[in-house]
Amino acid sequence: MTNLQRQARPVRIILPMIIGLGVVGYYFYKDFNISAFYHLTFNWRSVFWLLMAVLFMVGRDFGYMWRLRLLSNQRIKWKQSFKVIMLWEFTSAVTPFAVGGTSVAVVYVHKEGISVGRSSAIVMATSLLDELYFVIMFPLILLFVGSCDLFQVNSNAITNSLLMLSWIGYFLKLAWVLLLSYGMFINPVAISKMIVSVFNLPFLRRWKAGAEKAGTDIINSSIEFKQQSLIYWAKALLSTFISWSSRYFVINAIFMAFFVVDDHLLLFARHLVMWLVLLVMPTPGGSGFAELLFKNFMGNFIPYSGLTYGFALLWRLISYYPYLILGAIIFPRWIATKFRPKTEKKVMNYE
């Protein structure tokens, strides 16, 4: 619980905001061009597309919630699913992208009434499906868009760097997919033994019995997952595609609110590649780096100079900061409820 409580410390919430807003503020001031604002018009079309951007984020969360319920065989209700996803995204928002929320997601799922082993298997399946999306989509994007258009930004040096970072991110995801697939569908015993061996360490030995139980649950869950039909996995993959694709269409909708976008596929593709690059960034939620990458990847779509960082801020206000705020609201109450002392629970239940 102590480790979880650290995630909700005010500094963990404020730091990514300071980094992100600081970067945007500095470069917005540096590139400020008052005449560019005269070209923008805010009307009902703008309202419609900004609402669409918000709806795309809702679609992203719906896809995650649907998948969580599917993988838990409907044992997690919609309300519980919403809380788990918000907490999961909150943790991702306050930790580096390479760490993400997966490290504590098992606890979030377990505390909703799912066994530790089953929770581990659900998180493993979720991680596998997420990475599989990238493993499938990145080559398709390169095929239909082409690396020249996809990575051609401000200079050849930046282009080459982004291409290299994208391939590093891609191969990290591919390696993770292969490892998870092996553990879930071929040799879950190996994963179980790995967990038990970790808990053989002196300072973790007191929890070895629980680790052995978790390892057994993972093996049993693996057997259950392998017995699922193709339709089951098709639904899980569909929910994953709905979730991630909805996220990547957010920038399309934001741009459509203020000007015409000529190539939606290229815009979508660059947003996807941005996430591959952010995978190796060290700041919480990619703060600071995300805004700079937005400038490099999206700047040439914006017809008016001096507005790029303004649009970067709008993008983050819709797709990132809400998770910080919602998580900060939900997290303390969830901790107080789920980690309430057993004696207190018994008294309250009796009353």
3-state secondary structure of 284: strand
Q: Minimal CA–CA distance to 79: which of 343, 334, 345, 341?
A: 334
**Contact in structure between 254 and 311 (CB atoms under 8 Å):** yes
Tell me which residue of 238, 263, 239 sits closest to 251, measured CA to CA: 263
Exposure of 146 in the CB half-sphere (CA atoms within 13 A): 3
What pLDDT does residue 345 have?
Answer: 46
**Predicted pLDDT at 70:** 94
Please list the alpha-helical segments (H only) found in the chain.
2-7, 10-30, 34-37, 44-71, 78-93, 102-110, 116-145, 147-151, 156-181, 188-198, 208-227, 230-248, 250-256, 264-278, 289-298, 308-319, 321-338, 342-350
Tokens of 208: 């070895």
The domain ranges of the chain are 2-350
Tell me the HSE value of 270 on the side-chain side, using a 13 A CA sphere. 23
C-alpha span between 327 and 325 (Å, rounded)? 5
Which backbone phi and psi does 305 adopt, to 5 degrees? -70, 145
Closest by CA to 61, choosing from 104, 90, 99, 34, is: 90
Series of mean pLDDT values for 10-residue runs along the chain (351 residues): 54 64 64 66 91 96 95 92 91 70 79 83 87 90 80 61 76 83 82 76 71 71 82 94 95 93 90 79 72 82 80 89 86 79 44 32
pLDDT at 203: 65
Distance CA 119, CA 106 (A): 5
Q: Identify the pLDDT of residue 349.
A: 40
300 forms beta bridges with none
Whole-model pTM: value is: 0.81
User: Which residue bears the tokens 């997690």?
Assistant: 76
The reported pLDDT for the residue numbered 38 is 67
Phi, psi of 112, rounded to the nearest 5 degrees: -95, 15
Q: Rounded to an integer, what distance in angstroms lies between the CA atom of residue 140 and that of residue 81?
A: 31
pLDDT reported for residue 21: 64
Coil, strand, or helix at residue 113? coil
Bridge partners, 96 (sequence order):
284
Which of 90, 72, 69 lies closest to 335, judged by CA? 90
Q: Name all contacts of 29-33 with Cβ < 8 Å and 24+ positions apart.
A: 31/305, 31/306, 31/308, 31/309, 32/306, 33/304, 33/305, 33/306, 33/307
